[in-house]
Amino acid sequence: MTDERRDWPLYEIFIRAKSGLDHKHVGSLHATDARMAIEHARDLYTRRLEGVSIWAVRSSDIVASDPADADALFEPARDKVYRHPTFYDIPDEVKTL
């Protein structure tokens, strides 16, 4: 890490906007360690009260699906419309269903 030309590790930053909500991905930044990632995330992503909690995850630790596999992964769900409540025709007279 003494080689100045090498970028510091990349962290993905997730912010919880307020308690009760999920942490949401907001972007990424470089930091030497986790503590610096949190400190930089605070300066970079919460200058206007955007959050009450920060997660920082090393980008290299994220396992992502490959866009090329999208069909194989998601296609099987496409013809299963019966998984949605709107698939079922219920007469209007029946209430609260």
Partner 1 sequence: MYTQGLDSLGKDGERDPARDAGALERAFQARVDAEEKIEPKDWMPEAYRRTLVRQISQHAHSEIVGMLPEGNWITRAPTLLRKAILIAKVQDEGGHGAYLYSAAETLGVSRAELIDQLLEGKAKYSSIFNYPTPTWADVGAIGWLVDGAAIMNQIPLCRCSYGPYARAMVRICKEESFHQRQGYEIMLRLSRGTAAQRQMAQAALDRWWWPSLMMFGPSDAESKHGAQSMRWKIKRFSNDELRQKFVDFTVPQADFLGLQVPDPALRWDEAAQHYRFGAIDWSEFEQVLQGHGPCNRERMQARRQAHEDGRWVREAAAAWAAKQAAREGREEAA
Footprint of partner 1 (CB under 8 A) = 1-2, 4-8, 10, 12, 26-30, 32-33, 36, 43-44, 47-48, 59-60, 62, 64, 66-67
Tell me the closest approach of the beta carbon of residue 13 to partner 1, in angstroms: 10
Contact between residue 42 and residue 54 where contact means Cβ atoms under 8 Å apart: yes
Contact between residue 46 and residue 24 where contact means Cβ atoms under 8 Å apart: no
Contact between residue 30 and residue 7 where contact means Cβ atoms under 8 Å apart: yes
Q: Which is nearer to partner 1, 6 or 80 (CB)?
A: 6
Q: Which is nearer to partner 1, 69 or 89 (CB)?
A: 69
Q: Which is nearer to partner 1, 8 or 55 (CB)?
A: 8
Tell me the closest approach of the beta carbon of residue 83 to partner 1, in angstroms: 24
Distance, C-alpha 19 to centroid of its chain: 16
For the chain, state the CA radius of gyration. Answer: 21
